[in-house]
Structure formats: C-alpha cells, structure tokens
Structure 1
Amino acid sequence: MLFALEMLAIVLIFQVFSSVECRLTGIETVCRALRSATIRILCVGIGLGLFIWFRPHLHRRLVTAADSVDGEARRWWAVHLIGLGLIFVPWLRADPASLNADFQAHLVTLLAGAVLASTGALFLLVPRRDVSALLREGGAGLALVVLVAALIPDLADALAPLWWAFRGLILATFYGVAVVLAALGFHVVLNPDFATIGTEGFFVEMAGTCSGIEGFALTTGFFAIYSVLMRDTLRLGRFWMIVFPLALLVSWLFNVLRIAALIAIGARVSPELAVNGFHSFAGWLFFTVLALGVIWVVQARPSLHRAPAAATGTGVVIPFREDPSAALITPFIVFMLSGLLVQSLWQAPALGYPLQAALMAAALWLFRKPLLALDWRFDPVALLAGAVVGVGWILSFRGGPAPEGQSELTGAALAGWILCRTLGTTFLVPVIEEGFFRGYLLQLLGGRAMWQTALAVAVTSLAFALLHGRVIEAGLAGLVFAWVALRRGRLGDAIVAHAVANGLIALTALITGDWSLI
C-alpha cells in the first residue's frame, strides 16, 4: 500500500500538478518508453501481488522473510528512498511549466531514480537471500504471470483499433455520456463524426487513450492471471462466459461515468483538472482499481468456485481489517485521496471537508479492532506535551485568509461544517497522522542505535512538516509527538498529545471564529 501511495504521488506530480507531454519534450520516443515502463511496473507489481496472494505457501514465506527488519533491510530502504527522491528532483528544481522543455536534462535523474527505487522496493519485499528460493518455488507460473502482466499495455494497444473499427461502440459511449450529463442537468453538444462532446463551452475530442480501452486490457490480463492461479477450484465456464462479459460491461459503464464526470468538472470547476483526468496514467489507475475490485467480488462468490471461496484463500493470514500495518497506512491513504477528491469537486475545497471527514471516519471504523487494541492508558506527560504544542501553535500564528467559501455558509449548513471541522481536526486527523508517521514510518526507519532513531525522528518530522502549511511549527510539533511516542513506546500517547493540541487549536478557532488557524 505504501508503494501504491508512492506511485499515486508520482502520477499526481507529473500528470496533474505539472503535466508532461511527450510530444513537447524533443525526445518523444524515449519519453513514451519511460511512461510505458511506469505502467508496466504497475501491472507487473499487481500481477506479482495476485500470484503471491493466491499461493499460500509463497505468501507465508514472503511475510516471514519480510518481517525480519535487519541492517540489510534498512540499507534497501535507504536505496529506495534515495531513488524516490531523485524521481521528484525535476519537479522540485524546475518550474512545472518548463518540465517539457527541460525534460532531456532531467532524463538521467529520472532513470537513475526509477532504477534505485525499484531495486530497493524489490529487495524490501523479497529479501535478497530468498530471491532464488522464491523463484524456484514460483516456477514457470511466476514467469508466466510476469510476462502476461508486462504485456497488458501492449494488449491495450492491440485493442485500440476496436474503438474506431466498431462505430457502434463510439456511438454507445458518446450517447451514454450524453445521457449521464443530461440527467445531471447539462445541455450537451456532441459530434460523433469528430469524436467531440462537451457542454457549457468545455469540449473534448476523445482519443484512444481516453476511450476506456485500458479497462478492457486490464480486465482481460488480470482475469487471465486469476483464472490460471485459481484453475483448480474456479468454475472456468461460468467465469469466462458470464463474469468476463459482465466485467467488460462494468468497465465500459465506469468509463462512461468517468468521461461524464470529467466533462462536468471541466465545465463547472477546472478545465485543467479535467484534461489531466483524461491522461493515460489516470485511466490506468482508475481501471486497475476497478479490475481488482471485480476479482475481489469473484473471489467472494462461492457459486463461482468448486470449493467454498474461503478454501481458495491464502491460508492462515491476518484479515485485512485486523492487520496492524494496514490499520496504520490505509487511513492515511484515504486521508490523502479524500483531500484530492474535495480539491477536484469543490471550487472552494474547504466546503468539502464534511465529505473528507466522513471518508476518514469510515476508514478508521474499518480498522477499529487493531486501533482499539493500542495501549490507551492515561499519561499526563502526553496531555502536557499536547497542550504545549497547541499553545505554541496558537501564539505563533500570524493570521491568514479565511477558508474560501466559508462566508457563504449560514444557519444549519455553517453549524454542520463547524461540527465536522472540529471533530475531524480533534479526533480523526490525530489518529490518522500519528498512525502513519509515528506508528508506521518511525518504527520502520528506526533501529537499535541512537543515530538510527534520531534519523528516523528527523525524517518523519520533516515529512510531517511538509504536509502542513507552517513548516517550522509543524516540524517542531512532529519532534514533540515523536518524543512522546518513543518515551514509553506507545503510539496511543502520541495520538493523545496530537488530539489535545488540535483540540486546543479547534477550540480557539471556534471561540474567535478564525478558522484559518487550523
């Protein structure tokens, strides 16, 4: 999940916040090859995940090997993080608008970063001493899965002519989008002859990359991998004759909804955001999640298996919602994605905070069992540390603009927004942020030596600071929360300290009416 978050960050940086167009770089072929390699890495990674997930003995062996965090693992973490940093160097150093013109100069940095990040990730997931044994156990099936997954982008290219060969598919998609937009109250203008559709002055000419053909390719490729892995128990006739066509239909409907949503965003919210949403990377990510969701549904349906679905699982493993690591990482991913969602759907993103709070609460509720299992015994030091951070944050505040759109809220709407903002800031955010930064990253990067602990505290505090607008104050708060967590080795103490600090800040904002304080 952490690597999935990294992949999402790379896509957002280079396709949303700074759009890289290969045809404008001067080395279009190399640029497209690099983009294709990124998509292949995504597909191969998911293919390997499916292979290991549905091979219980490999899954158990891999988990056992990966749980031994030793000096070698920390070295590979360093390699991975250095590579990840190199990937982001072009975006940090260059003006986003100049990335296309200077792309050749950044190519070496990007390639070196990709190699280091991928190598580090590989040997973190599969310790080097276990690679040969795992390859032997995987055998020809593993090689076949890697080959099929790597060829999924080529399958998409091979299927692309179908988009233009069958005019009925174009018409069905266009009129489907038109129906959805009309149902939403838009006046739709479309021209199937030129593959153009739009509303309110925003029009798009759809190319093969935004046709949804990626969904057909991903569904076909991942279904092929799944059917091979589960061939001993899966009812292949029902799977291919019934489920597969239905999955393609769902993929097509999803694409219709995606196009309609992007056109609506382009007409009412942000044309740039909508255009970025049509990029190939965005499509691959959306359809990957959809294809894996369909496989999850298939796995859960006993009627599609010759044995109960539970018998085809992964053996004795911790259920996802009870996995302590998942409980620390997944809510943070939901937190970040929900922020992106409200940025996309609201011209004044602050007004979308109730939706973000609801999604955060749902993620925490899903993992309530491992979170409630934390040590929550009372610690006065945590309360005092939180109070110091909260008071320091308030006293060092120099004022700022009010959340955009807040002045438009009145009555019950304003009261509801304030309630969501207060509860979310005080109770939800501390659990999510402390779980990820002090519960997961701090323990992951730390070690027995003092310098290792100090480095882990510095890295996590810096990452925490960069997530907030006031870097110095947030960095100092991160140091305090890290000290509280390490003092007795209890994540619950850090969460309490963070909640106290945020509670004081929210209370001050409520009393003064100045919500820019949060």
Structure 2
Amino acid sequence: MKPYISTAEPAGSAPALARIVPFALYLVFIFIADVLSRMGYGAQETRWLYGVKILAVSAALALYWRHYAELAWQGMRASMLAASAAVGVAVFVLWISLDAGWMQIGSAAGFDPRAANGAMNWPLVALRMAGAALVVPVMEELFWRSFLLRWLHSPDFLAVRAAAVSLKALVITVVLFGFEHNLWLAGMVAGLAYGLLYMRSGNLWTAIVAHGVTNGVLGAWIVVTGNWHYW
C-alpha cells in the first residue's frame, strides 16, 4: 500500500501566499492612509499614496504570476463575455443605489483628483481608473474567489473545482467581502455576483471582467458626476 501524501496547501504555502500577499499589501496601504489621516493629513495631501499602492500590488502580482494557473487565458465565449460585462454593469447600478445610511460603515474619504483651483488632474484620474479597473479586480478576485472561496471549502484549494464550492464557503466570502467596503450591502451584492459567476463558469476571468467593468463604469460615472466619495 502506498503511503498517503497530502496535497493540501496550507495558508502559508507559496500558492496561498501568492494570492494573499498582494491583497495584504493593499490593506497595509489603506492602514497607512488611515494613520496619515489621523495625523492631520487631508485626502488631497495623500492622493499620491494611491499610485504607490497600485505599484506595490502590481509588483507583487508580477512576482507571483507563475503561481496563477487560473489566469492562463482559457478563452471566453462571446455569450459569457457579454454576461460578465452585464453583471458588472448591474453591480455598478446597485452600488450607487444601495447607499442609504444603514447600508454604510463609517464614511469614505473619497478620492478627488481636482487641483486646488478646481481643474481636473487627468493623470491622477487615469491612474485611479487604471488601478481600479485593471489591477484591483485581478488582485481581489485572486484572493477572494480563487483562494479564500476554495480554501474555506478545503485546505487543498487548488484541487477544488469552482462549481463544487460549498454554500457555507460562498456565504462567508460574500459577508467578508461586503464588510471590506464602506458600502457593506453593495459589497455583499457584488461579492455574490462575482462568486456565482466564477462558480458557474469555472473561469476566474469571468469574475475579473465583471469586477473590472463595475469599477471602470463607476469611475467614469464619478468623474462625470463629481461624486468623489464613491472613490
């Protein structure tokens, strides 16, 4: 009889860390921004920190890229691509609608890219849009859906098929994803939508595309309407 050899990937393993570290870096910069705010630095004075945060997260993703087998392009049918984009737009609509006082935790500092004279700082707008629509969706979907959703189902998360994930694991990630955001209810709706997309398709890119569309459309809406607190 052959001895049993576990293939489980503990949270401290390289595949797990590859999905945790970029997300953890993102949280560290949120903490730094909060500390600077408590020290008296205004949101306008710390806008530069966003670029450093996105650069650090991008560097971490590049460093661990070889561990992301699920990001190898599998191809997406036109119908699936359209469905992902539609989900992304639907989440955007709900995101700006589910903003009643009881649906929020605290208040968001926001990100205002305008100069002191009111002129738009377009490089800052481009930086924020690129970070929110291109980098954040990859980083968050790798952590929340690829890693945590499957890891809660089984420590051997790399062997877990998306469609086989338990309802318990889905609910936990939806709740935690919601409370990661100031708009907690909107966050839960988004987490549920992205999670179900991934579980139904088995392709992480569906969730990434939907997440990217949500953030991209939200960013464009913010710039047009001036609702900077949504950033």
Amino acid in the other structure paired with 1:367: Y
Q: Secondary structure at the match of 1:348?
A: coil
Which residue of the partner structure matches residue 390 of structure 1?
A: 92
- C-alpha distance 495-390 of structure 1, shift in aligned 2 (>3 A): same
Contact residue 198 and residue 207 of structure 2 kept, 8 A: yes
| Residue correspondence of structure 1 range 45-56 to structure 2 within 5 A | none
Q: What residue is the counterpart of 1:423 in the other structure? A: 130
Q: What is aligned with 1:366?
A: 63
Q: Is the 8 A contact 1:386 1:501 kept in 2?
A: yes
Indicate if the aligned counterparts of 1:402 and 1:516 stay in contact, CA closer than 8 A.
yes
**Amino acid in structure 2 at the alignment position of 1:348:** G
Contact 2:181 2:187 in 1 (8 A): yes
- Are the counterparts in 2 of residues 383 and 497 from structure 1 also a CA contact under 8 Å? yes
Report what 2:219 is aligned to. Answer: 506
Counterpart in 1 of 2:33?
Answer: 342
Shift of 1:470: 0.9
Q: Which amino acid aligns with 1:394?
A: I
Say if 1:424 and 1:404 are closer, same or farther in 2 by CA, change over 3 A: closer
- For the residue of structure 1 that corresponds to 2:57, the secondary structure is helix
1:329 aligned onto 2:28: no
1:446 aligns with 2:137: no
Q: CA deviation at 1:484?
A: 0.4
2: CA distance, partners of 1:456 / 1:337: 25
Identity of aligned residues (%): 27
**Which whole-Å deviations, capped at 9, do the CAs of 1:212-239 have from their partners, x for residues lacking one?**
xxxxxxxxxxxxxxxxxxxxxxxxxxxx
In structure 2, the residue matched to 1:97 is none
Change (3 A) 1:513 1:482: same
Q: Which letter does structure 2 place at the counterpart of 1:327? A: A
> Normalized against structure 2, the TM-score is what?
0.74
> Contact 1:397 / 1:517 at 8 angstroms: preserved in 2?
no
**Rounded Cα–Cα distance in structure 1 between residues aligned with 2:58 and 2:165:** 34
1:485 to 195, 198, 206: 198
CA deviations over 1:358-386 (Å, ceiling 9, x no partner): 21222222233444425353522222211
Q: Counterpart of 2:28 in structure 1: which amino acid? A: L
Distance in 2, matches of 1:470 and 1:376, equals: 33
Farther-moved stretch of structure 1 (407-416 vs 330-339): 407-416
Residue correspondence of structure 1 range 25-424 to structure 2 within 5 A: 64-65=5-6, 67-68=7-8, 324-345=15-36, 347-349=41-43, 351=47, 352-371=49-68, 372-373=71-72, 375=74, 377-378=76-77, 379=80, 380-397=82-99, 403=110, 409=116, 414-424=121-131
Residue-by-residue CA offset, 1:270-317 (whole Å, 9 max, x unaligned): xxxxxxxxxxxxxxxxxxxxxxxxxxxxxxxxxxxxxxxxxxxxxxxx
Q: 1:461–1:478: 8 Å Cα contact kept in structure 2?
A: yes
Which of 455, 459, 465 is the matching residue for 2:172?
Answer: 459
Return the TM-score normalized by structure 1.
Answer: 0.35
Deviation, 1:405, is 7.0
Q: Which has the higher contact order (CA 8 A, sep 6+)?
A: 2
Contact 1:457/1:482 (CA < 8 Å) preserved in 2?
A: yes
Whole-angstrom distance in 2 between the partners of 1:330 and 1:444 = 15
Please state whether the residue corresponding to 2:121 is helix, strand or coil: helix
Contact kept? 1:509, 1:517, Cα under 8 Å: yes
- Cα deviation digits, residues 200-222 of structure 1 (max 9, x gap): xxxxxxxxxxxxxxxxxxxxxxx
Does the CA-based 8 Å contact 1:427-1:499 persist in structure 2?
yes
CA drift of 1:416 comes to 2.6
* Structure 1 position 343, deviation (Å): 3.0
Measured after TM superposition, the shift of residue 413 of structure 1 is 8.4
Q: Once the 2 structures are TM-superposed, how far is the Cα of residue 402 of structure 1 from its aligned partner?
A: 6.4
- The change in CA–CA distance for 1:326 and 1:402 in structure 2 (over 3 A counts) is closer
Shift of 1:446: 2.2
Letter in 2 for 1:465: G
Q: CA deviation at 1:396?
A: 3.4
Deviations 1:140-175 (A, max 9, x none): xxxxxxxxxxxxxxxxxxxxxxxxxxxxxxxxxxxx
CA distance 1:401–1:344, shift in 2 (3 Å): closer
Deviation for aligned residue 1:336: 1.1
Give the 3-state SS of the residue equivalent to 2:110 in structure 1: coil
1:338·1:356 contact (CA, 8 Å) conserved in 2?
A: yes
Q: 1:353 deviation in Å? A: 1.4
1:432 aligns with 2:170: no
The Cα RMSD (Å) is: 3.3
**Residues 472-481 or 385-394, more deviating:** 385-394
Counterparts of 2:128 and 2:209 in 1: how far apart (Å)?
18
CA deviation profile, 1:177-206 (whole Å, cap 9, x unmatched): xxxxxxxxxxxxxxxxxxxxxxxxxxxxxx
> How far apart are the structure 2 equivalents of 1:430 and 1:404?
18
What number of residue pairs does the alignment pair up?
Answer: 205
